[in-house]
Structure 1
Amino acid sequence: MLFFLFSMVSASYIPGTKPKEFEKDKIVELYVTKIDSSLTQLPFDYYYLNFCKPASTIEYNDNIGQSLSGDLIENSPYKIQMQNTVYCSNLCELTNSKTDIEIFKWMIDNEYKANWVIDGLPSGYRVPVNTTKTNLAFYQDGVPIGFKANGKRFLYNHHHFIIKVHKTSVDKWRIVGFLVNPMSLNSEGRDACKDYNIQEIIQVQENYVEKIITSENNFKLVEDVINEEFLQDAASQKIKWSYSVTFENSDTKWASRWDVYLYTEGGEVHWLSILNSFGMVIFLSFMVGHLFRRTLSRDISNYNERVDTDPEVDSGWKQLRGDVFRPPAYLGLFCVCIGSGIQLIFMTLFTILFACIGFLRPDHRGALLSTMLFLFAFMGCFGGYVSGRFYKMFGGLNWKTNSMGVATIFPGTCFGIFFIINLLIWGEESSGAVDFLSLLELICIWFGISVPLVFIGSALGYKKASITNPCKVSKIPKPIPMRRNFLVYCVCLLAGSLPFGCMFIELNYIMNSLWHHSLFYYLFGFLFLCFIVLIVTSAEVSILMTYIVLCREDYRWWWLSMQISGSSGVYLFLYSGFYYAIKLEISRFTSTVLYFGYMLIGSMAFALVTGTIGFISTFVFIRKIFSLIKSD
């Protein structure tokens, strides 16, 4: 039976690592995706505009991440065959109503870009780079629908597809590049494919692009030749659509075909940010190490030697041995925050590791978001387990209520914000609005996977023996001699800027990738290093500030240890407001709500991650120092 089962096993491969080879004349499928803009952040279905359609449109949605991001993939009417050059092919002629013309104008005014996909590669729009190297350029995802000039709006109604191929054998090629050069050809009473010398225009364009001319005069020379189709103020307007296809041989290997999309200037900035973060960690480590080596070791040794003969030596944090492990206020909510933080920490860690390995390649659209959703659901067992352990340590009795809080409070808050945003997007007729089936799938992941795993993990944690602390809690709370003043809270809030500072530079790249749709983020190795630095910084900041509070004989450290490092989420949200004012040009109310809604979710998650790291490390620290002193 085993040998029979082995014979049925077939090998698999890491997604995105198996190249596809095309023979001559083989059909090369060209798919269309959403049209989007960094100015509005509202994606639309490609066929929302009056573009040429195939006989029947088919949607290709592989995962829930595509549905949630509005990244729809559909078939197109373009017919492309490997190594078959087409200098001009009429696609269709469409009559646009006044409403259609107004929509085109609105899209051009808001800098919308159309997107195509061939063999997993997005349509690239070549952008010159000012560098000492010659003939260097990187690709931006998406091609403008049109442009404005001299008070008119010109529409790109002819697209020249440049497919770069790498020959692997006699009659087989791999696609290693996909460029689109748009043109605007006057179609009123003309046949662009007959009345224009498209081949000559293409050669002019190719010379322009290959030399990467940045001179304004040269750009205008090409612009005057090809940009002629403008949108008229009329009741209707006929527009003819056409396309060209050329193939270019390339020495680029299939494994390196994404390099031109992922190019970014200032790569040394990442190393500087890492060095800056490590410098901050070394500085904090020196302070904490000094605290352990000098102050703590001296206090503990002096106390243990003299406590039996000199009771006055019992001062500072050592007086709190009967109260330091007293349960915090709102212990149920505290355990919920810990469980949600653990769930987010494991989700983040595994997502970055999968991305570093190569599972989350950029040609798998929606894979990153889908992976994060499923990992968050499956990591519920860890969140429930840790929350259940602490809930029992604090003497909590109703562990089911605590489990339900871990399973619903943070996900429910995120879902509520997402649902409000989705309603506003739906009112804008954007393809970014999630349909009912996708919402139902999201709810099934939540209540079908995450909630049961949280309950299982919490039950296992609650059944384990309670965590035994080195000091017993006294029956009568000790009076706190010094109340916390405003200065203490200000210092703790300022300390939260250190974890945020470790991620600041890398965060700028992430924000650019999220809110500027023409850029890709791929530096997951740097992100992994930054995450490690974030863990260490959050831990050391919380330990240091909590020790200072304990020295003031204030034993209310539970929430404070979480708030110190968790306040970095406040800085993240403030930075999002700064980024909105400086880097973005959003003017629509819906887009503003979308931006700040998602950044609020991100800031809350960041606060829970850093806050939980700060509490866990501080808890270990306090257990250690109080286990070293003599107790009654």
Structure 2
Amino acid sequence: MLNLPLTLLGLLSATQLVDGFYLPGVTPTTYKEGDSVPLLVNHLTPPAYHEMKYAYSFDYYFEHLHFCQPPELVKQSESLGAIIFGDRIYNSPFELTLLKDESCKQLCSSSYPAAESSFVNALIKDQFSYNWLIDGLPAARRLHDQRTNSDFYGAGFELGQIDETDPEVAHLINHFDIQVEYHQRGENEYRIVGVTVVPYSIERQSFECPSAENVDSSPKVTLSNKEEARDVYFTYDVRWVASETAWATRWDKYLHVYDPKVQWFSLINFSLVVICLSLVLSHILLGALRKDIARYNEVNLDDDYQDQTGWKLVHGDVFRKPRYLLILSVIVGSGIQLFLMTLVTLGFALMGLLSPSNRGSLSTVMFILYALFGSVGSFVSGTVYKFFGGEDWRLNMLLTPLLIPGIIFGCFIGLNFFLISAGSSGAIPFGTVIAIVAIWVVISVPCSVFGSILALKREAPSQPVKTNQIPRQIPTQPRYLSTIVMALVAGVFPFGAIAVEMYFIYSSIWSNKIFYMFGFLFFCFVLMAATTALVTILMTYYTLCSENYQWQWRSIIVAGGCSVYMFVHAIFLSKFEFGGITSIVLYIGYSLLISFLAFVITGSIGFLSTLIFVRKIYGAVRVD
């Protein structure tokens, strides 16, 4: 069910690029009159992120749903990313023939026992939705956005309807009015460019359908949990409608920006924040540093005057080997690996290379890029480990591709057991788990080993000052310079850059919504990275001025403060009412995992930017 799991070319054109480009290899299907057009079914998904009670989806042919099945059930081949994020696509008993309209065509009749009736009613009340596919396009509802006064297609449609007079009564949909839009390219050449469904609930004792003018006023199907069993008759209509929409732009009507003014306001607002923060740093920090460096370099050893305070006093300890250097270097290397994976993936999506028609392409590309960037992550990890005097390089080589991925994989497997126990379609099959491990072992681990060996053979960056043998005593620090306080203060700024997009990302992950606003997301991600580097450098400067030279772990924790706000946002600022312990565990578990990954990414950005800053300032002063 999870559909995860984050512009320099022009924000306005970015969203348009996604509309018109398709991933290479995704070719249009041309039909002829009389050709069979398959209708595929995907899982049933819960409602919008802020209204959901379930944190998982159900297979379309889940045994308690009693939906009509074809004579031979065939599972469609899917990409690795689609499987990981819960897509389970099968064939269906619907028969669609190009340009052949159908009216009240029989599907099947299903019997609903009392127990299954209660289950289906609960899903209807919780607003679960069908997800069908025709020629790669989702079957959708026609919607209208009053804020932008525009019409668009919302992917999926409701499983049932709530009674208008009694909210406790649910009506199951058993008649589907399917409208397929086609575009004629030439003589007897047609392409599918749109699919909408108008669902109805019709109470009846046979397959007979009421007339079009009476369908809305007809009695509706009500499944009772008190009866022995209830027969429901399923039917459907098919209408073929000519359209001027070209195949290359058929996704335009599906891709809709909700309240774009909020997105632009957020983007412009935090762009100004970053610019102002940069100016403040340039004016205060750089100005102060110039004065400090000039004053330090003017003082001779023979002078009676010696500074008793300032960041120069800790020059003999600032590059001292930090505690748990091995873990620190692994976190930094893994963070850079995740950062590059996210940045490059968003860049591909921004240029329109990841089409929504190729389901799971985004997550598949992310997974492959993460494995390939293992070489860069291990190189950075080995370089940091070597810079601070680490000696057990073999252990560093081993832990870099295993520690963080192992934590992710362990959480992934643990949460998968809850999905299995709930009967969710999002449960990852055993074969897919083996495939993930195989890709990890075959691609990621060798790339990581190569990066570690390259870092070992390459000469480590030099330390601009020598480290004293005896550590300097750190004076008592003010409370406002404590690590927790600094992390909470510093975390507000990078979180602000990504806060608005977090809502849309979570809606895509938990509600099967199509996310395509990669122009906004790319720029927000860059803003978040830049803001993280700036605020971490500023906090580190204040730390060094208070004669605290233990900046290494502090820079990671301070930069990672953004992840705390991400988790708080996911848990406390979202309007949801979970329906069971499984949903609670899944939502909190995945939110923790997302926040942890954000901590690793921002922590590595903060550490490396601080390392560059510290080497720069101590390389500029004269230490005899």
Correspondence 1:267 to 2:283: no
Correspondence 1:514 to 2:506: no
1:18-33 to structure 2, matched below 5 A, reads 18-33=27-42
Matched with 1:111 is 127
* Cα deviation 1:129-157 (Å, max 9, x = unaligned): 22574xx4222222212123134321111
* Cα deviation 1:322-366 (Å, max 9, x = unaligned): 111111111111111111111111111111111112222222222
SS in structure 1 at match of 2:96: coil
Taking structure 1 as the reference length, the TM-score comes to 0.90
Correspondence 1:303 to 2:296: yes
1:492 to partner: Cα distance: 3.8
C-alpha contact 2:23 2:354 (8 A) present in aligned 1 = no
C-alpha contact 2:487 2:560 (8 A) present in aligned 1 = no
Provide the rounded CA distance (Å) in 2 between the counterparts of 1:529 and 1:87: 49
C-alpha contact 1:86 1:244 (8 A) present in aligned 2 = yes
Matched with 1:466 is 460
Cα pair distance change 1:338/1:35, threshold 3 Å: same
C-alpha contact 2:555 2:610 (8 A) present in aligned 1 = yes
Matched with 2:489 is 494
Matched with 2:211 is 197
Cα pair distance change 1:174/1:108, threshold 3 Å: same
Identify which of 166, 171, 180 aligns with 1:163: 180
Cα pair distance change 1:164/1:416, threshold 3 Å: same
How many equivalent residue pairs?
590
1:255 to partner: Cα distance: 2.2
Provide the rounded CA distance (Å) in 1 between the counterparts of 2:543 and 2:587: 37
SS in structure 1 at match of 2:253: coil
Correspondence 1:627 to 2:622: no
SS in structure 2 at match of 1:442: helix
Correspondence 1:284 to 2:301: no
1:256 to partner: Cα distance: 2.2
1:215-226 to structure 2, matched below 5 A, reads 223=216, 225-226=217-218
Matched with 2:45 is 36
C-alpha contact 1:27 1:82 (8 A) present in aligned 2 = yes
SS in structure 1 at match of 2:401: helix
Instruction: Return 228-237 or 112-121, whichever deviates more.
Output: 228-237
Amino acid at match of 1:560: R
Amino acid at match of 2:396: N
* Larger RCO of the pair (alpha carbons < 8 Å, separation 6+): 2
C-alpha RMSD of the superposition: 1.9
* Cα deviation 1:370-404 (Å, max 9, x = unaligned): 22222111111111011011111122121121122
Cα pair distance change 1:166/1:311, threshold 3 Å: farther
1:617 to partner: Cα distance: 0.9
1:612 to partner: Cα distance: 0.8
SS in structure 2 at match of 1:237: strand
Provide the rounded CA distance (Å) in 1 between the counterparts of 2:435 and 2:549: 46
Instruction: Return 313-322 or 270-279, whichever deviates more.
Output: 313-322
Provide the rounded CA distance (Å) in 2 between the counterparts of 1:26 and 1:556: 71
Instruction: Return 291-300 or 471-480, whichever deviates more.
Output: 291-300
Moved over 6 A (4+): none
Cα pair distance change 1:21/1:391, threshold 3 Å: same
1:292 to partner: Cα distance: 4.6
Identify which of 78, 88, 111 aligns with 1:72: 88
SS in structure 1 at match of 2:402: helix
Provide the rounded CA distance (Å) in 2 between the counterparts of 1:16 and 1:276: 39
C-alpha contact 1:16 1:363 (8 A) present in aligned 2 = no
Correspondence 1:407 to 2:401: yes
Cα pair distance change 1:144/1:169, threshold 3 Å: same
C-alpha contact 2:174 2:234 (8 A) present in aligned 1 = yes
Aligned-residue identity in percent: 37
SS in structure 2 at match of 1:496: helix
C-alpha contact 2:333 2:381 (8 A) present in aligned 1 = yes
1:229 to partner: Cα distance: 2.0
C-alpha contact 2:207 2:234 (8 A) present in aligned 1 = no
Identify which of 191, 196, 211 aligns with 1:174: 191
Provide the rounded CA distance (Å) in 2 between the counterparts of 1:15 and 1:50: 39
Matched with 1:422 is 416
Identify which of 476, 485, 496 aligns with 2:470: 476
Identify which of 568, 583, 598 aligns with 1:606: 598
Identify which of 156, 161, 165 aligns with 1:147: 161
Correspondence 1:231 to 2:250: no
5+ residue gaps, structure 1: 1-12, 202-221
C-alpha contact 1:539 1:614 (8 A) present in aligned 2 = yes
Matched with 2:588 is 596
Amino acid at match of 2:504: Y
Matched with 1:61 is 77
Correspondence 1:82 to 2:76: no
Matched with 1:359 is 353
C-alpha contact 1:186 1:192 (8 A) present in aligned 2 = no
SS in structure 2 at match of 1:21: coil
1:387-402 to structure 2, matched below 5 A, reads 387-402=381-396
Matched with 2:13 is none
Amino acid at match of 1:66: A
Provide the rounded CA distance (Å) in 1 between the counterparts of 2:343 and 2:104: 50
Cα pair distance change 1:309/1:294, threshold 3 Å: farther
Cα pair distance change 1:16/1:110, threshold 3 Å: farther
1:281 to partner: Cα distance: 0.6
1:589 to partner: Cα distance: 1.0
Matched with 2:445 is 451
C-alpha contact 1:183 1:227 (8 A) present in aligned 2 = no
Provide the rounded CA distance (Å) in 2 between the counterparts of 1:625 and 1:355: 38
Cα pair distance change 1:384/1:491, threshold 3 Å: closer
Matched with 1:342 is 336
C-alpha contact 1:418 1:597 (8 A) present in aligned 2 = no
Taking structure 2 as the reference length, the TM-score comes to 0.91
Cα pair distance change 1:484/1:378, threshold 3 Å: farther
C-alpha contact 1:320 1:553 (8 A) present in aligned 2 = yes
5+ residue gaps, structure 2: 1-21, 48-52
* Cα deviation 1:448-500 (Å, max 9, x = unaligned): 32222212211211221122111111112222233464653313421121111
Cα pair distance change 1:571/1:548, threshold 3 Å: same
1:20 to partner: Cα distance: 2.2
C-alpha contact 1:164 1:178 (8 A) present in aligned 2 = yes
C-alpha contact 2:310 2:544 (8 A) present in aligned 1 = yes
